[in-house]
Chains A and B, each alone.
Chain A
């Protein structure tokens, strides 16, 4: 051994391993099997976070991360004799999506029902991972939601999820900062910039934040300006139009790039302790966000200390004041996966879960969700509610309900994950001063088009 030359050993090791690799039929045989076999039934691991209340009836597995999910599941199980929900929190947002994506690729391991944000749905539809549930009792609940809400969970005529909550966008602001620097809530983006400048010139804090990790916000703001990033017809599944460098998209990117360059807004990643502490400390005069944001902020401890009672909300600033456009950020729905053992049963659960009054009330009163159910949206209790976080402001009536009503729905990308990653990179580059908005848009168009083509799409403009 001692005299063996290293290279001989190394080469032998590599060769032997490779040889073994080529001869390994078991692994290779199953490889094809893994990608082909979808629909194994997701019930194989029946380990629920919740307690099953009725034994001996079919169970439907659910992944979801709503903070009050335990209550919601208990409500469902105690009111259903014939089916029980077995719930797991598989992580929030991307963590769960990664797991779901993995389960799709493996052909096993997905739950029957999965919580998805609307903008992710086409991503899984194109992989045949979701079941069209329009034939499973959709008509019965159709009237409960607005057209915009349904559009967000549909691809073409097919309905892929049951809407639960939404994220009509608005602008949260600090009343103390606004008062101190004598600005009023801006109604247009032009006014937003002017107010930002006024505050900065007077030595005030940053006016907002353009975080690289919220590409969904940037896309929503581009849509607000009239962009139509993706057009996709499920009848023609290999064709897609990608328009990421159109004038509207460029305008929005350039606008924010300008604010960043002039030091009017911050570039901190959102949802981080860093950002939260900035919000608590009054580092940001506004937070361009969605209807679930007050719940998120108060859950993170904002508005409880010295900053209590300093927050208020105003409608999202517009490009054209005369013609307001309402956009959405986040909000989720329950989809049925193609791995579900019994799709019809699972669809029933998707429609019924988080649809009972008790759960919805628990959700919105604790500010965990902004419900899309019309019964709630039109109830006086909800509309007139004086939100504690906003110091008693009737935020639903004044801002969020009108925004939700005006929302028309949108078609998202079938490769949203990749698009968001690319957008995040470009926002980071803008924030670092490496590119202008227009350059970022051009680069995005190129990257995403290349990706789409590589995935086998024919890309049209």
Chain B
């Protein structure tokens, strides 16, 4: 849990996520708590709304019932069943696609970032500074501006409208490399690596068995960040994919939104499906963030260390 401690003097760092209690003079905490409570309401209202609205049918949604309270006939099961059976159960497929893209893109980007960050931090290879400077410059390149030419290049390779068109560009994560570089440089002592080498370990083994364990908090953070980035991605799959069975859930819901506004689902009210679909789609990430909070809350510190 002592994520960033290695970047600090050993004396007295508080573990960032744990919020280790420290002594301070008694103070009046009512005001700060009231402030937090007010903010909480603001930040949670949309969540509350989507939970409530997902229980309603179209008539309940638009018919003027209280938008922030449940309808008289709460029908989660009915809506869920419709969600997963509409159009041959395509929604489940979208969820799986999202998971696949996020996993493949997230894991792939993380592996590349970890290796490259470690390489930049621990080896003085030729042109290293130049490469790293380019990398830093690229953090400032607006990635969405690359979507259009990437699309054209991918279509040259006949890769548009395939899963690769979404996964491959997601592997690019310059900021991840930078984070890993900072972390590897500070958290992996050269002495330790040299000791491993003296013991006869190869470079790869040294990396995997000595450096990697030390870099774990940063790895989890980069993994989580790229996972979220890919899961939430909209522009790239929107442009790359035509076949709706390849859509991730973000683009799928957007498709339904288009269908719902201009036409209809052939008798099914798509709006209630869209809302329960939105609710279901955010559950995995919310669960991931809540359950992994020890890791990312620590890991994000690296970002602030600049």
Binding site for B on A (CB under 8 A): 1, 4, 8-10, 12-14, 16-17, 27, 30-31, 33-34, 44-45, 47, 49, 63, 65, 67-68, 88-95, 99, 102-103, 105-109, 271-273, 276-277, 280-281, 295-296, 298-301, 304-305, 366, 368
> Given known contacts A45-B243, A102-B151, is B264 in contact with A300 (CB within 8 Å)?
yes
Q: Mark B73-101, 1 if CB is under 8 A from A, else 0.
A: 00000000000000110000000000000
Would you mind naming 28 contact pairs between A and B with Cβ atoms under 8 Å apart?
Answer: A10-B140, A13-B137, A14-B137, A16-B130, A45-B161, A47-B245, A67-B264, A67-B266, A88-B242, A89-B244, A89-B259, A92-B262, A92-B263, A106-B155, A108-B155, A109-B242, A271-B261, A273-B62, A277-B61, A277-B64, A296-B263, A299-B263, A300-B260, A301-B62, A304-B59, A305-B59, A366-B267, A368-B266
Establish whether residues B242 and A90, one from each chain, have CB atoms under 8 Å apart when the complex forms. yes
Give the distance to chain B from A37, nearest Cβ to Cβ, in Å: 9
Find chain B residues with CB under 8 A from A34 CB.
152, 155-156
- State which of A12, A30, A65 has its C-beta within 8 Å of the C-beta of B134: A12
The number of chain B residues with a CB under 8 A from chain A is 49
Establish whether residues B61 and A12, one from each chain, have CB atoms under 8 Å apart when the complex forms. no
- Cα A68 to Cα B259 with chains together (Å): 12
Q: In this assembly, does B239 line the interface, its C-beta being within 8 Å of a C-beta of chain A? A: yes
Give the distance to chain A from B142, nearest Cβ to Cβ, in Å: 13
> Given known contacts A13-B138, A368-B266, is B244 in contact with A88 (CB within 8 Å)?
yes
Find chain B residues with CB under 8 A from A296 CB.
262-264
Q: In this assembly, does B213 line the interface, its C-beta being within 8 Å of a C-beta of chain A? A: no
- Cα A92 to Cα B45 with chains together (Å): 31
- Cα A258 to Cα B134 with chains together (Å): 58
Establish whether residues B62 and A109, one from each chain, have CB atoms under 8 Å apart when the complex forms. no
Establish whether residues A13 and B133, one from each chain, have CB atoms under 8 Å apart when the complex forms. yes
Find chain A residues with CB under 8 A from B245 CB.
47, 49
Establish whether residues B160 and A109, one from each chain, have CB atoms under 8 Å apart when the complex forms. yes
Establish whether residues A49 and B244, one from each chain, have CB atoms under 8 Å apart when the complex forms. yes
Establish whether residues B129 and A4, one from each chain, have CB atoms under 8 Å apart when the complex forms. yes
- Cα A368 to Cα B262 with chains together (Å): 12
- State which of A13, A108, A272, A299 has its C-beta within 8 Å of the C-beta of B264: A299
The SS class assigned to the B binding surface is helix
Establish whether residues A9 and B153, one from each chain, have CB atoms under 8 Å apart when the complex forms. no
Give the distance to chain B from A178, nearest Cβ to Cβ, in Å: 22
Q: In this assembly, does B231 line the interface, its C-beta being within 8 Å of a C-beta of chain A? A: no
- Cα A31 to Cα B149 with chains together (Å): 10
Give the distance to chain B from A26, nearest Cβ to Cβ, in Å: 9
Establish whether residues A12 and B59, one from each chain, have CB atoms under 8 Å apart when the complex forms. no
Establish whether residues A65 and B263, one from each chain, have CB atoms under 8 Å apart when the complex forms. yes
Establish whether residues B133 and A295, one from each chain, have CB atoms under 8 Å apart when the complex forms. no
Establish whether residues A295 and B264, one from each chain, have CB atoms under 8 Å apart when the complex forms. yes
- Cα A298 to Cα B263 with chains together (Å): 10
- Cα A10 to Cα B138 with chains together (Å): 9
- Cα A229 to Cα B245 with chains together (Å): 40
Give the distance to chain B from A45, nearest Cβ to Cβ, in Å: 5
Find chain A residues with CB under 8 A from B246 CB.
47
- Cα A30 to Cα B153 with chains together (Å): 8
Q: In this assembly, does B46 line the interface, its C-beta being within 8 Å of a C-beta of chain A? A: no
- Cα A8 to Cα B130 with chains together (Å): 10
- Cα A225 to Cα B218 with chains together (Å): 67
Give the distance to chain B from A354, nearest Cβ to Cβ, in Å: 14
Find chain A residues with CB under 8 A from B136 CB.
9-10, 13
Most buried by A among B130, B151, B254, B267: B267
Establish whether residues A273 and B244, one from each chain, have CB atoms under 8 Å apart when the complex forms. no
Find chain B residues with CB under 8 A from A93 CB.
258, 262
Most buried by A among B242, B259, B263, B265: B242
Find chain A residues with CB under 8 A from B58 CB.
300-301
- Cα A295 to Cα B265 with chains together (Å): 11
Find chain A residues with CB under 8 A from B152 CB.
31, 34, 105-106
Q: In this assembly, does B306 line the interface, its C-beta being within 8 Å of a C-beta of chain A? A: no
Give the distance to chain B from A245, nearest Cβ to Cβ, in Å: 30
Find chain B residues with CB under 8 A from A281 CB.
64
Establish whether residues A271 and B262, one from each chain, have CB atoms under 8 Å apart when the complex forms. yes
Find chain A residues with CB under 8 A from B260 CB.
300
Least CB separation from A100: chain B residue: B242
Give the distance to chain B from A410, nearest Cβ to Cβ, in Å: 21
Q: In this assembly, does B293 line the interface, its C-beta being within 8 Å of a C-beta of chain A? A: no
Establish whether residues B134 and A17, one from each chain, have CB atoms under 8 Å apart when the complex forms. yes
Q: In this assembly, does B132 line the interface, its C-beta being within 8 Å of a C-beta of chain A? A: yes
Give the distance to chain A from B68, nearest Cβ to Cβ, in Å: 16
Give the distance to chain A from B264, nearest Cβ to Cβ, in Å: 2
- Cα A31 to Cα B151 with chains together (Å): 12
Knowing that A16-B133, A301-B62 touch, tell me 20 more A-B residue pairs with CB under 8 angstroms: A13-B135, A17-B137, A17-B138, A27-B153, A45-B242, A63-B242, A65-B263, A67-B259, A88-B244, A89-B244, A89-B255, A91-B244, A106-B152, A109-B160, A273-B271, A277-B61, A300-B260, A300-B269, A305-B59, A366-B267
> Given known contacts A10-B137, A49-B244, A88-B242, is B263 in contact with A301 (CB within 8 Å)?
no
- State which of A65, A92, A99, A298 has its C-beta within 8 Å of the C-beta of B242: A99
Find chain A residues with CB under 8 A from B132 CB.
1
The 7 closest A-B CB pairs, nearest first, are A13-B137, A299-B264, A277-B62, A67-B266, A106-B155, A301-B58, A271-B261
